Chain A
């Protein structure tokens, strides 16, 4: 039978019956068919979702970037930054190096910077701040200067900033020198329609977090900071300049903000165009040089296959398309990792929470050929472009994955990966739920089996999920406390061993405390259905908020949905490999958790609470499904 006639047969009824009977029979047939194919449908969702992930770096799915906001006009102005300004930057650099060599305190450094700004004739101030975290107190002093717009009332502002510490961890002396020289240079011109705010923030991200929180009137409970003595307009856009090396070869764009927020794509495209054409600097994403990898030589162990191996290496492994795929995949994976972990890739990341589009211009350290001249020139041009804005950046994309500096994926091209997996979970949950409502009943008298309805144990299922989430919340309160955090600094995993053992083995056994139930319906499949529903409910909406995070949950969902109800202790132990508490056993894992605690308490990055309240309980629920013997 052809597929079409099969489809027809599904809707047609045997002739000669009553209209209603036909309708009923058709309904039954369709329900049965849907029930029968639903496992395959679920599997197909998973498989297509996973294949889609591997397809995202393909050039065919991508699109070239373009400037959407016509007001921006990137690279259309004459720039005036010349060698005299480079010389000024060099003088500032000397002063900064002297400060660094004399081990100056934050207070001294900020005082020096404030004097420099005042010498230029720009109103300036310093701000002392302290973040009280459960690891240590983070202390520093910011310097800021406000240059009021000479042309308009200054309702809006643009921030040009540098942090004392680069994203590489080195001192960002040249970045600070660039901002100082820019301040002296830019204030000479009258075409600024926005206030220019120069900020030299202490630390890496903490200083800017303190400055912006105070500027916007937010007072996080962990922060105590001096009030600002100067005030400006609404900040629309911001640039962070990061120049840790001696010279630089490429301009790296860092754009991922806290909790997976991204700046408007127009800002990145303008930086890319201006960097390339005004600054004459090759522009890259992050620190990844835009070169394809070298040809891989055929390894010894493939040699024996002779011609076949040669062909595979020549046509597949070393094929240009594969190398390009790898390059794009690398860029996208880095963006996804920053976003999923909720960390900001640079100092610009703390701006996004205040609805400010910001990026870091990273001067990739190298022996040459670029220096202050090109960096100042392109920053000047980029600021002129931002100066053109009549409304906030809104035209271009906010949802994108960049596969290279000049190509990206639209939301529609990548969203299906996680949404399909979420839909797969939903189908699995629905099937489990429907199946639980029926029981096969065999009558000896009639020698016949039939299906009878039975009540489901929905409340107990929901209760199991909720109680494990509550335990997760308890773990969060513990991990966030001063009691636990210092342990993370320990060199060995030994003092943490009891914590690991308790958190990996005990919580799922909370299901043993459930009240006795007379219900004949099984509980384990119900818990699984509840888990699948919660996964679907998390993955799908999260995909627009933070796509990589939703993809992470989707990937976690696949092993969890393979867990068989009441399958015993072996799968229980296998699931331990998904438990984030296991990270405590590794030095790098402990460091990651320490960073998560720091990021949460200072910057408000969600990684720590999410891991405790979502990731941990999900694994426990999976384990509980294994051990419930009903």
Chain B
């Protein structure tokens, strides 16, 4: 079999991250707030494993917030040794990149893929937003791989594995539950955009949702079995909603809640938690003709507004953008968005350094840079929403679309 030369690029990128994970760079990055949140940090995972193996309930006390399933996996199958972790995280990124390529191939089928699948996979691997968390061994990279794998099964129209993986994902990243609706839509009507929304088989949809509920209950039972009590619910799912740990991250929640008077907390927690819910119905209704696009938009909204994001959430969203080249010409302000992202990528580590290393700045600096980052993500979502709607109309000379 002839060696396909372009394959060397992702191979090189995978080898690079394997080497870098084993280098001293990885321990140095491991506790970086931008790369690992309290829910995904490798240091906390190791702490939890240690407590668990010593027979102490890791969910007692506020350090460990990984799901019991992750805990079970890392205490049995995957020991947290450097070489094993390097292999697992490299493999997860490789899997995620491969899934992305597969999803693209499924979307343009029956047309042949002209190497763009490989390009998308390489871009996923080369994206610093994805590379950083992997080097820090943040479990958010594994979450990304799970999500893409689930999406891959969905575009192949295999409901059971898709919802199974999504149920699994919802244990490490609760907001992923919102993606169930577009995921089921993809399973039912395929990954391609159609001129008119297809007739949806409601029974099949109900079956998929029921299956999801079943898996969730089963996993919850397994989690309780592993953890020995229901204590994990408040520490993992509860943390996503109630934000007990105000460790800084690139998201929009932490600073807001450090500044909050305690008697306002419940109200704003409710508002912040429910806020992403309101997008689900309108986006899924508007994009019935292209559920994959609805999935993409919703993923962007979740990654912008979730309570403990890391850079890999934004990285996944930016990578998914590559699946929709048809909308590129309709972007209204691509340059502004790109520059916002560039500025955010420079300002986030810079202000993080000024605040926590140099000690010359303060929390407001880093907060300001997270706002720039939020703005960049927001601009990406708004512009892709416009372009996605606009691309369905097409061009006509001398005509201009004012409103969609």
- Contact surface of A with B, Cβ cutoff 8 Å: 20, 23-24, 261-262, 355, 392, 394, 398-399, 426, 430, 433-434, 533, 537, 540-541, 544-545
- Give B359's nearest chain A residue, CB to CB: A355
A24 to B400, Cβ gap below 8 A?
yes
User: Which B residues touch A398, using CB under 8 A?
Assistant: 359-361
Q: Give the contacting residue for A537; candidates B346, B358, B359; CB below 8 A.
A: B346
Interface residues of B in 335-386 (CB under 8 A from A): 335, 339, 342-343, 346-347, 350-351, 354, 357-361, 365
Nearest 3 pairs of A and B residues by beta carbon: A398-B360, A20-B402, A541-B346
Assess whether B403 is interfacial by the CB under 8 Å rule: yes
* Cβ distance A83 to chain B, nearest Cβ, rounded Å: 40
Q: Give the contacting residue for B335; candidates A20, A394, A399, A433; CB below 8 A.
A: A433
User: Which B residues touch A261, using CB under 8 A?
Assistant: 358, 360
B339 to A533, Cβ gap below 8 A?
yes
Inter-chain CA distance A261–B403, complex, in Å, is 52
* Cβ distance B337 to chain A, nearest Cβ, rounded Å: 13
* Cβ distance B124 to chain A, nearest Cβ, rounded Å: 19
A541 to B335, Cβ gap below 8 A?
no
Interface 1/0 per residue, B304-336 and A, CB below 8 Å: 000000000000000000000000000000010
- Give A536's nearest chain B residue, CB to CB: B339
How many interface residues does chain B have, given as a range?
Answer: 10 to 19
User: Which A residues touch B335, using CB under 8 A?
Assistant: 430, 433-434
Q: Give the contacting residue for B350; candidates A20, A262, A355, A541; CB below 8 A.
A: A541
User: Which A residues touch B347, using CB under 8 A?
Assistant: 541
Interface 1/0 per residue, B88-131 and A, CB below 8 Å: 00000000000000000000000000000000000000000000
User: Which A residues touch B339, using CB under 8 A?
Assistant: 426, 533, 537
Inter-chain CA distance A399–B358, complex, in Å, is 12
* Cβ distance B390 to chain A, nearest Cβ, rounded Å: 15
Q: Give the contacting residue for A24; candidates B350, B365, B402; CB below 8 A.
A: B402
User: Which A residues touch B357, using CB under 8 A?
Assistant: 355
A544 to B354, Cβ gap below 8 A?
yes
- Give B342's nearest chain A residue, CB to CB: A537
- Give B369's nearest chain A residue, CB to CB: A541
A355-B358, A399-B360 known; A541-B402 Cβ under 8 A: no
- Contact surface of B with A, Cβ cutoff 8 Å: 335, 339, 342-343, 346-347, 350-351, 354, 357-361, 365, 400, 402-403
Interface of A is mostly: helix
A23-B402, A24-B400, A433-B335 known; A540-B360 Cβ under 8 A: no
- Give B351's nearest chain A residue, CB to CB: A544
Given A261-B358, A541-B350, 11 additional A-B pairs, CB 8 A: A355-B357, A355-B358, A355-B359, A399-B360, A433-B335, A434-B335, A537-B346, A541-B343, A544-B350, A544-B351, A545-B350
B343 to A540, Cβ gap below 8 A?
yes
* Cβ distance B100 to chain A, nearest Cβ, rounded Å: 21
- Give A542's nearest chain B residue, CB to CB: B350
- Give A533's nearest chain B residue, CB to CB: B339
Sampled A-B contacts (26; CB under 8 Å): A20-B402, A23-B402, A24-B400, A24-B402, A261-B358, A262-B360, A355-B357, A355-B358, A355-B359, A394-B359, A398-B361, A399-B360, A426-B339, A430-B335, A433-B335, A533-B339, A533-B342, A537-B342, A537-B343, A537-B346, A541-B343, A544-B350, A544-B351, A544-B365, A545-B350, A545-B354
Inter-chain CA distance A541–B369, complex, in Å, is 11
Candidate in A262, A426, A433, A545 with the most chain B CB atoms within 10 angstroms: A545
Inter-chain CA distance A369–B359, complex, in Å, is 39
User: Which B residues touch A262, using CB under 8 A?
Assistant: 360
- Give B353's nearest chain A residue, CB to CB: A545
* Cβ distance B286 to chain A, nearest Cβ, rounded Å: 20
User: Which A residues touch B361, using CB under 8 A?
Assistant: 398, 544
* Cβ distance B259 to chain A, nearest Cβ, rounded Å: 19
B343 to A20, Cβ gap below 8 A?
no
- Give A397's nearest chain B residue, CB to CB: B360
* Cβ distance B191 to chain A, nearest Cβ, rounded Å: 28
* Cβ distance B334 to chain A, nearest Cβ, rounded Å: 10
* Cβ distance A605 to chain B, nearest Cβ, rounded Å: 16
- Give A355's nearest chain B residue, CB to CB: B359
Inter-chain CA distance A261–B354, complex, in Å, is 11
User: Which B residues touch A392, using CB under 8 A?
Assistant: 359
* Cβ distance A560 to chain B, nearest Cβ, rounded Å: 19
Inter-chain CA distance A20–B342, complex, in Å, is 34
Inter-chain CA distance A392–B362, complex, in Å, is 14
Inter-chain CA distance A71–B385, complex, in Å, is 55
B403 to A20, Cβ gap below 8 A?
yes
- Give A434's nearest chain B residue, CB to CB: B335
- Give A18's nearest chain B residue, CB to CB: B402
User: Which B residues touch A20, using CB under 8 A?
Assistant: 402-403
* Cβ distance A604 to chain B, nearest Cβ, rounded Å: 14
- Give B339's nearest chain A residue, CB to CB: A533
